Amino acid sequence: MSLSLSYLKYLRDISRKMVFRAGFDLVFPGTSRNPDCLSLMIESRDAAWFSRASDESKKSDRKIFFGIGTLTGKFKQVNGRNKKIAAPLFLAQVTIDPEGMIAFIHKDSLSLNYDIVQYLLKTTVKDEEAENIDFNNPDLVTLRHLLDGIADRASRLILPDEIRVTGYKIAGSQVAELIDSTLGDFKTINPSFSCSQIPDFQTRSQLIQASRQDSTNATNSCFFFSGKFPD
Amino acid sequence: MSTYTALNKLIVQIPNTTSENKLIEDLLSSTLGGEPFTLQSPAISEEQIRQAIKFIPFTLSERQKNSIYQAWTNKISYIQGPPGTGKSHTIAAIMLSAFFLGKKVLLVSQKKAAIDVVQAKVRDLSGGQDALIFISEKPEVKALLRERLSNVLQDVGHDYRHEKLHRSFLNHEKIGSEIKRKREELAELRAQIKRLVGIQRDYYRWNSEFIAARDSFVKTFRTGQIPFAILSNDITSKWLRKLSETGKKRDREVPSLTRCDILSLKALRKKAVKDLGGNPELLDILTPSFELYLSQLVRCCQLYSETSRLTNATHEADDINKYRESYQSMLGEIMELQKKYVASKQSVLIRENLQRSEERENLDSFRTMLRNTNASLIEGRMTHLDYGHLTKIFPLWAGLIRDLGSYLRFDSELFDLVIVDESSQVNIAEVLPAFYRGKSICVVGDQKQLGLNAAGLFALNRQFEDMAWNSHFGRSYSLSSGDEKGLLVSKHSILEFITNPNNNIQAPSSTLNEHFRSVPKLAEFTSQKFYSDEGGLNLMTLVGDKVTRPCFKAIPVDGLREIDELYVPNEIDEALKLLSSIVRDEVWRTDPLLKDHFRNGVRPSLGILSFTTGSNIAINLKLRDDFTEEEIFEYRIFAGTTEEFQGNERNIMILLLGADSTISRSSAFYSDRRRVNVATSRAINFTYLIYGGIPSNFGLLNSYLRFFDIPIEEQNQPIKLVEKYYNWRFDDAKMESEFEGRVYPYLCEFVAKQFPGQPWKVFNQVPSCGKRIDFVLFNPISCRALAIEVDGPDHYDENSTSYTDTHLERESILLRAGWDILHIPYYKWYSNGWLAEKSNKIFCEYLVKLSSELKNRIERAPIVY
């Protein structure tokens, strides 16, 4: 019985650590590889966006997500290439009610954005090379433990059941603290990752502008975005 | 409810030994603890399943029937379905069989396309009614279901519901009685056909034996074509006795014959000449050849007498073709009735289970819940619902694995059977909550198509695997042991876990092998390259004019791959050019390579499959820029990676390799058999392969190119195509009897006379559907083909315990594939022990009838698109 229990616990934990490679490393218009990608800063009151997002979510392979914390700009990977990122650090799926401009959070879907993590882990490999990664490399083992700690902290984040766009601020200090500690860990993971925390972006244009900078920025901004979910 | 939460609930159950689900408990303890796993499901008899299968409104192959049987009699079973072999058909059949077994089924998959196909089939097979409840998180899907449930509630919501139930019940009974009556007629027809086939077979066997004896006699004694006497059994016995006596006399130690012996032999000789038609010149009583001649002659007469006696019976068999036609027509009527029967059964179930107000309230609450979008609100509402009752009204449910929790409560053993489609792409963690809702499981997929291991993204996930594993197992169970048993989420699909030989499960498997999807040349590559070790696939599309249609074009483009982005720009440009010509210039109507496939004027569906994610991103971006939503909708254009295409098919496929000739280090990726199997088997009609270059060490892709390396001049010569690539030809060495030797020139003469100037060809022993057709009349210009079956050894398999069933199954397979078949009976072609001559009046009259029948058949033979 104890082996079965251990196995179920393993299944449960690993079910939260899936890299979907769903393009969640670039999710803003102008940065995304998907020109239809919709995003909305949480503070914005935009009925048209909710309506569009609702339509978008009807497509079979698309879902709406709540992004917590942002990472924008470029960072240098170990192979010397610059990687552009404009994405949330954490994400959770939401269901949109366009009439009331409410987003219902699927709380147990909250997860670290593993699509970004894979870049930090230096494993942005080509399709045909993925099989050749040496997972037992001691550096990778250490990094994984750090990431596990981040994921664990994120799982303790208290999220509300629903988000109404007007004047909403998600447990601000909690998120800020999480982002802070996460960035610290990211720096440990990848020394070439330089990032200074800056104040919240208030508008989407501020965020897009930041995403075009060469430096990397992180904020505790929250936003919604649509994404292709693997079908 | 997410996988995470569902697994958490299971975790709470396990340590308290309150696991409500025996299946999961046994599965885990058997795999991890080595305890024996009992496969057998609670009692359900073979007869019950056989009866249920009879009500499924379409014909099933023996393997499909076996799959249904295994699914219902085992806690775990596996159906292997190579590309295009009717997995969805089989799943639909299992689901419909549940109706008649009083069982409940849940179908789950990762792929919406896979569920869509099954849903459409079930709808079609249940008289257009939605017998299957499909829900997803998508609002429009929920809205549709809400509307349907509103209609159901409205139907039972007034005072006449009891009368309505009564009427439904009567209607169901009436259809059932009608089916029963027609089945009895069908059984009579089948019995008649079996009896007449039996007569024909007996005649064939005796006559073949006679011909062998006759030819040996004629050859030994050079008698020429002589008539043979008909002997009664008594007379034959007397002759044999006499010959035995004379033989003994000649064998005496003193070999001289007495005068008495000679007189006796002379009398025998006279009698042989008179009664048996023996040649007096060859009957030399002084030599042992006398007995040899007579014994062979008597044997010939004996066998001829048997065949003559059977000839009278064969006259009855004159009507066998009429019986065959009636049988097929009756079968069609029954299938239509059975669709109505399924629909009426559904109607009874609904009305029967919604008579009481609390039952209606329960369904209404479920309907109301579908309006909710707030996950915690939905979960709250679910707790008040009686799912046992909901699944009693609607026994068939389907959903995407990730959406299950949004409408199905986490109840143990809610369903009798959970079916997982495309299971090679489903990981263990996500499917376990679905299994929890069932008592047994049936895993459908194909080990030879892509699994989790093939997708790079799962390789990335493996980084977290050992950490999670070790934190829970510690030293009690190593990761490598888990790996050996197929237990790792990022590496092993549920299919690999179930079929892992290191586990104690040993689930029974059944492999579907009738391929119905692609034109034969495309399917043949799949069959030869990936399934030859299993005997290959029976190509059910190797029918009529499909064999002559071009189906492949390789388009090499210059240019190198973008190093960072993993795509070849020229490939993308070429693909867009091609798409534009198909969508905007409608070349599918005019291009010689495409037009024959789409003569019916229906727009082809289009797919662009990218081997690399880089190509996929690039083509998707361009697609959205260059094509309107209407164009994408009308041509059902879908662009995806190989992984995304698994479970999908399109009429025309464009494959983008994302490769150039310098990337030889990627050989393992491009030579992955599972990947190439999926990529090359998606097209129904035509495949374009666009590539920057293929390095010489990409063995599989190079052999793919070679396989389709058909010179353009041959592509325009259909006869050459079928002869060279499908081995359709006339081969004298393959003629199995003198009878076939006579039928062949007759057929040649017939087409030359009846259709002068038309390019009709007559082929023999034509391979199709895993069988060999005796003759095929084929006209590549008019696109008509007719199968001619003559009696021969293939038709009367001696190894089979029930030769008539084998014979009818063979016919059923060919008909299912779309062949029009004309049977030419053997016995009609013989007269007096020899092949009949045209001067024979009876034979001549028969030929006139045959000619007319052939002409009718050819003129009505369907043109298969």
On chain A, the residues whose CB falls within 8 A of the CB of B8 are 12
pLDDT greater than 60 at residue B773: yes
Kindly report the average pLDDT of chain B as a whole number.
Answer: 86
Residue predicted with more confidence, B156 or B64: B64
What is the SS3 assignment for B441? strand
Q: For residue B550, what pLDDT band results from cuts at 50, 70 and 90?
A: confident
List the structure tokens of B327: 């049988």
Mean pLDDT of B848-861: 86
List the structure tokens of B659: 């490769």
Interacting residues of B736 by C-beta distance below 8 A, sequence separation 6+: B792, B793
Q: Would you call B490 and A54 a contact, using CB atoms and an 8 Å cutoff?
A: no
Q: Would you call A11 and B428 a contact, using CB atoms and an 8 Å cutoff?
A: yes
pLDDT greater than 90 at residue B530: yes
Q: Where are the alpha helices (DSSP H) in B59-159?
A: 62-73, 87-101, 112-125, 139-155
The values of phi and psi at residue B777, to 5°, are: -90, 125
Nearest C-alpha of chain B: how many angstroms from A158?
15
Name the nearest CA neighbour of B574 among B622, B509, B624.
B622
Percentage of the residues of chain B whose pLDDT score is greater than 90: 37
**β-sheet bridge partners, residue A83:** A75
> A97 in contact with B at a CB cutoff of 8 Å?
yes
Q: What type of residue sits at position B551?
A: C
| Cα(B696)–Cα(B667) distance, integer angstroms | 9
Interacting residues of B650 by C-beta distance below 8 A, sequence separation 6+: B604, B605, B606, B607, B636, B638, B682, B683, B684
Q: What is the pLDDT of residue B344?
A: 92
Q: What is the pLDDT of residue B555?
A: 93
For chains A and B, count residue pairs whose Cβ atoms are closer than 8 Å. Answer: 186
pLDDT greater than 50 at residue B80: yes
* Residue among A4, A20, A121 whose CB faces B28 most closely: A4
First to last CA, chain B: 46
* Residue among A9, A105, A107 whose CB faces B11 most closely: A9
Name the nearest CA neighbour of B728 among B800, B785, B660.
B785
> A15 in contact with B at a CB cutoff of 8 Å?
yes
On chain B, the residues whose CB falls within 8 A of the CB of A22 are none
| Cα(B71)–Cα(B69) distance, integer angstroms | 6
> A144 in contact with B at a CB cutoff of 8 Å?
yes
> A145 in contact with B at a CB cutoff of 8 Å?
yes
On chain B, the residues whose CB falls within 8 A of the CB of A101 are none
Q: For residue B176, what pLDDT band results from cuts at 50, 70 and 90?
A: very high
> A158 in contact with B at a CB cutoff of 8 Å?
no
Q: Would you call A95 and B375 a contact, using CB atoms and an 8 Å cutoff?
A: yes
Q: What is the pLDDT of residue A35?
A: 52
Q: Express each pLDDT in B335-352 by its tens digit.
A: 999 999 999 999 999 999
Q: Would you call A15 and B489 a contact, using CB atoms and an 8 Å cutoff?
A: yes
| Cα(B95)–Cα(B419) distance, integer angstroms | 9
Residue predicted with more confidence, B865 or B453: B453
Closest residue in chain A to residue B406, using alpha carbons only = A106
Nearest C-alpha of chain B: how many angstroms from A198?
31
Q: Express each pLDDT in B571-627 by its tens digit.
A: 999 999 999 999 999 999 999 889 888 988 899 999 999 998 889 989 998 998 899
Please say whether the beta carbons of B821 and B787 come within 8 A: yes
Nearest C-alpha of chain A: how many angstroms from B392?
29
| Cα(B425)–Cα(B191) distance, integer angstroms | 46
Q: Which helix (H) or strand (E) holds B479?
A: helix B479-484
What are the pLDDT tens digits along chain A (231 aa)? Answer: 588 888 988 888 887 766 555 667 777 655 555 555 666 666 666 777 778 777 777 766 677 888 888 887 777 665 566 777 788 888 888 888 777 778 888 777 777 887 777 666 655 445 555 555 565 666 666 766 777 777 777 777 767 776 765 545 555 566 777 777 777 777 776 666 666 665 566 666 776 676 677 777 777 777 788 776 654
Mean pLDDT of B741-753: 92
On chain A, the residues whose CB falls within 8 A of the CB of B477 are 3, 6
| Cα(B655)–Cα(B608) distance, integer angstroms | 6
> A123 in contact with B at a CB cutoff of 8 Å?
yes
| Cα(B539)–Cα(B547) distance, integer angstroms | 11
Q: What is the pLDDT of residue B435?
A: 92
Q: What is the pLDDT of residue A166?
A: 53
Q: What is the pLDDT of residue A27?
A: 75
Q: What is the pLDDT of residue A28?
A: 67
Q: Would you call B8 and A231 a contact, using CB atoms and an 8 Å cutoff?
A: no
On chain A, the residues whose CB falls within 8 A of the CB of B434 are none
Sign of torsion, CA B662 B663 B665 B669?
negative
Q: Express each pLDDT in A167-221 by its tens digit.
A: 455 555 667 777 777 777 777 766 666 666 655 666 667 766 766 777 777 777 7
Q: DSSP assignment of B310-368, as one string?
A: HHHHHGGGGGHHHHHHHHHHHHHHHHHHHHHHHHHHHHHHHHHTTSSHHHHHHHHHHHH
**β-sheet bridge partners, residue B80:** B445, B511
Q: Which helix (H) or strand (E) holds B207?
A: helix B161-221
**β-sheet bridge partners, residue B686:** B652
**β-sheet bridge partners, residue B440:** B417
Three-state SS letters, B146-166:
HHHHHHHHHHCCCCCHHHHHH
Q: Would you call B457 and A130 a contact, using CB atoms and an 8 Å cutoff?
A: yes
On chain B, the residues whose CB falls within 8 A of the CB of A63 are 137
Q: What is the pLDDT of residue B864?
A: 45
ipTM of the complex: 0.78
On chain B, the residues whose CB falls within 8 A of the CB of A2 are 476
Residue predicted with more confidence, A102 or B453: A102
CB burial class (10 A; 0-12, 13-18, 19+) of residue A172? exposed
| Cα(B4)–Cα(B413) distance, integer angstroms | 20
**pTM recorded for the entire structure:** 0.82
Distances (CA, A) of B220 to B213, B214, B217, B292, B652: 11, 10, 5, 10, 63
Mean pLDDT of B225-242: 87
| Cα(B408)–Cα(B385) distance, integer angstroms | 10
The values of phi and psi at residue B606, to 5°, are: -125, 140
